Amino acid sequence: MAAPLAAERILSALRGEGLTVVEVGAWRSRNRNHKGPFGPVHGVMIHHTASSGSAHTVAMCRDGYVGLPGPLCHGVITKDGRVHLVGNGRANHAGLGDPDVLRAVIAEGRLPSDDQATVDGNRHFYGFECENKGDGLDPWPDVQLEAIERVSAALCRAHGWGARSVLGHLEWQPGKPDPKGFAMETMRERVAGRLPGLPGPVPLPVPQKPVVDLSLLVTAARTDPNRKGTPVSYPGVRTVEAALINEGLLAKRYGDGHFGLATLAAYTLWQERQGFRGRRPGQPADGIPGMTTLVPLGVRHGFDVAA
C-alpha cells in the first residue's frame, strides 16, 4: 500500500532527479477526487498526447476537452524535456484496465497481456502525458526520452519501487496504442539503470540550437537551382527550409535540403517581408541569404548563424 506523494514531495523528487519543472497554475489542488479516491498508488503510467504544440498540449492536458474533463494527467513532458505539472490527485488518464496487469505491477513482475478493462487505473497510477502526435512518425527527441526516464525514476525512487512499476497505457487498457514510437521495455531498462546506487543525478543537457553556416548556404543558393535533380549540397538548407515552411512561404514538399527554385523564391519573399528589394526600382529581392535577413529568421525559428 503506497499513499500518493504530497505536492511538495513530487516537486522535490522531480527536481532532485535533475528535471526542469514548470508549475502550471494551481496544479496542487487540481484533480478529479470528487469522482473517487486517489490511492493507493502502484506505479507510473506513460502516454502520448496525440497532439502537437507545447502550449496547446499543456492547456489540453490541464483543462481536458468535451467529454473528458481535466486534468488528463499529473504532468506533461514536452519535446524540450520540461515537465509541466497540471494536476495533483485523481486524473483522467488511465481509465479501466486489466486486473492481472495491476497485480503484476504491484509484484513488479513481467506484465501479462491486457485483455480486460475492469479496474480503475485513475485511482492507482501517476500519469504523464508526453507531447507527440502518436502516428509513429513524429520523432521523440533524446531530451524528451531522458525526461521520461528521469520522471519515472524519480517517482519510483521516492516510493522505493523498481523499474517494473513503470508501464505504458497500451500495456494497461486493451486497444490503446500509447506511447507509440519507443518500446516500454527499453524505457524500463533505462529507468532500472538509473535507480541502483547512483552517486546523484546530473542536470539534463541543454538542447543545442542548430547552426547554419552562411557561406555554405549562399553557395547552395547560387549553385543548387542549376543542378539536375534535387541534390543536397549543404544539409543546413533543411533548417532554413523548415523555417520558411513555418512562415508559410514554402510548401512542405520542398523541405528536402535542396536550395532549388522554390526555396529561392520563398527566401525572396522572406527578404521582401524584411523590407529588401532589388537594386533597381521594382526589381524583386534576389533570394540569396545574407546576415541581415538570415539572423532574424534564425531568431524566430530557433537556429544560430555562423558567418
Whether residue 15 sits in one domain with residue 82: yes
Domain-ending residue, one of 144, 159, 194: 194
Whether residue 189 sits in one domain with residue 296: no
Q: C-alpha distances in angstroms, 273 versus 138, 175, 240, 265?
A: 31, 48, 16, 12
Q: Is residue 2 part of a domain?
A: no
pLDDT tens digits along 163-209: 999 999 999 999 999 999 999 999 999 999 999 754 334 455 556 78
Domain-ending residue, one of 194, 221, 243: 194
Q: Is residue 72 part of a domain?
A: yes
Structure-model confidence comparison of residues 31 and 280, the more confident one: 31
Whether residue 162 sits in one domain with residue 19: yes
Q: C-alpha distances in angstroms, 115 versus 96, 170, 177, 188, 213?
A: 11, 11, 14, 22, 54
Whether residue 27 sits in one domain with residue 168: yes
In this predicted structure, the answer to whether residue 14 has a pLDDT above a threshold of 60 is: yes
Whether residue 70 sits in one domain with residue 141: yes
Q: Is residue 203 part of a domain?
A: no
CATH number at residue 18: 3.40.80.10
Q: Is residue 205 part of a domain?
A: no
- Count of domains in the chain? 2
pLDDT tens digits along 258-291: 999 999 999 999 999 988 876 666 667 889 999 9
For residue 23, the enclosing domain spans: 7-194
Whether residue 267 sits in one domain with residue 149: no
